[in-house]
Amino acid sequence: QVQLVESGGGLVKPGGSLRLSCAASRFTFSDYYMSWVRQGPGKGLEWVSYISSGGSGRHYTDSVKGRFTISRDNAKNSLYLQMNSLRVEDTAVYYCARPRVGNDAYDGFDIWGQGTMVTVSS
């Protein structure tokens, strides 16, 4: 079935960097905008970033602008999140998510990965 699988999480010190990956399967990845959504321990959902289907359009929530970079490789059916200058408050499970309809950013997310945990701590 349609699937998203995240990887790359782990423990990192404040100020450090981490690169998350999301592997997509069983759908035409290049047709879809893709997003990263995070959830801090015991907290609610926070959208982090999205990228257009072709990769030219990128948007970020204010708290990660200038520190995080979203990218994709449509040939590899993969989505990435490069996270630099990490802060304790970036500690969260990071999910990749797909909107319901292709070539449209603005829709509900019908496909989610299982998430990868990022812990920022000294």
Residue ranges in contact with another protein by CB under 8 A? 35, 37, 44-47, 50, 59, 61-62, 95, 99-100, 105-110, 112-115
Type of residue numbered 108? G
DSSP 36-57: EEEE-TT--EEEEEEE-SSS--
Q: Which CB sits closer to another protein, 16 or 109?
A: 109
Residue 101 C-beta: closest distance to another protein, Å = 9
Q: In 89-114, which positions are buried (b, 16+ CB within 10 angstroms) versus exposed (e)?
A: ebbbbbbbbbbeeeeebeeebebebe
In the complex, least distance from residue 115 CB atom to another protein, rounded to whole angstroms: 6
Q: Toward another protein, which CB reaches closer, 16 or 58?
A: 58
Dihedral angle over CA of 83, 47, 66, 31, nearest 10: 80
For the CB of residue 43, give the shortest distance to another protein in the complex, in Å: 9
Q: Which is nearer to another protein, 59 or 67 (CB)?
A: 59
Nearer to another protein, 23 or 105 (CB): 105
Tokens of residue 44, six digits: 């609610």
